[in-house]
Amino acid sequence: MSLVGKKAPHFKASAVVDGKNIVEGFSLDQYVGKKYVVLFFYPKDFTFVCPTELFAFQEKLAEFEARNVAVVACSTDTEQSHWGWLMMNKNDGGIKGVTYPIVADTNKTISYNYDVLTGDWEYNENGELEAAGDLIAYRGLFLIDKEGLVRHQLINDLPLGRNVDEALRMVDALQFFEENGEVCPANWQKGKSGLKDTHEGIAEYLSNN
């Protein structure tokens, strides 16, 4: 399922914010009309690839904030698990120093509604509900505009870490289009020209590049 062009699924859930405070009823609604959002899902706390991504987003957090973007993480772990991980130093396998919100999708409905939940439920021959596979989140990433619309999504399998610079590039591309009305060609980077969405504009761009 692609969510691009659709309203980002609504949720309210517990989250850890500012690296230490557990809050109830965290929602992306607070950003509508005010900020862009990069919402990314990761599989599990206390693992190996996941902290590299969480720290990578933290290292670039000022660059996202300079672009008026809120970064929000989410996994199917509890808020207590998130908090415990945040209390641990990096050298001990923790993620102390991460300050953007980390949402607890404990009942797995957020991951399901964003279509990033691995595994599935099924009934066995005795009519009992069973889980087929681990019910955790793939490495999904969603760029949501200020109106709450999903403008970009990327979903990686569990072993494949993401490129945070690419997430920034997509923010730049969306904001460039909104500000200039020009579309962004392949491998576009901030500071480069776009092209007009016409046959003449494309021909001119290709002849100059």
Determine the Cα angle at 139 with ends 168 and 84, to 5°: 100
Which distant-in-sequence residues (6+ apart) come within 8 Å of 154 by Cβ? 140, 141, 162, 166
* Residue 206 confidence (pLDDT) above 70: no
The per-residue pLDDT for 201 is: 57
Residue 66, burial from CB neighbour count under 10 angstroms (0-12, 13-18, 19+)? exposed
pLDDT digits (tens, 9 = 90+) for 172-183: 999 999 999 999
What residues does 21 pair with on adjacent strands? 17
Cβ–Cβ under 8 Å, residues 172 and 187: no
The per-residue pLDDT for 155 is: 97
- Kindly state the average pLDDT of the residues 92-108: 97
Which positions are catalytic?
50
pLDDT class of 209 with cuts at 50, 70, 90: low
The per-residue pLDDT for 142 is: 98
Cβ–Cβ under 8 Å, residues 188 and 173: yes
What residues does 71 pair with on adjacent strands? 38
Q: Which residues of 155-194 are buried (b: 16+ CB within 10 A; e: fewer)?
A: bbebeeebebeebbbbbbbbbbbeeeebbbeeebeeeeeb
pLDDT digits (tens, 9 = 90+) for 117-169: 998 788 888 888 788 778 999 999 999 999 999 999 999 999 999 999 999 99
pTM equals 0.92
Q: Give the Cα separation of 186 and 147 in Å (integer).
A: 26
Torsional class of 25: left (φ above 0), alpha (ψ -120 to 50), beta (otherwise)? left
Q: Give the Cα separation of 35 and 173 in Å (integer).
A: 16
Domain chopping of the chain, boundaries: 13-162, 163-209
The per-residue pLDDT for 107 is: 95
pLDDT digits (tens, 9 = 90+) for 23-81: 999 999 999 999 999 999 999 999 999 999 999 999 999 999 999 999 999 999 999 99
pLDDT class of 6 with cuts at 50, 70, 90: very high
* Residue 94 confidence (pLDDT) above 90: yes
Cβ–Cβ under 8 Å, residues 4 and 148: no
Give SS3 for 66: helix
The per-residue pLDDT for 131 is: 80
Asked if the 13-162 domain carries CATH number 3.40.30.10, the reply is yes
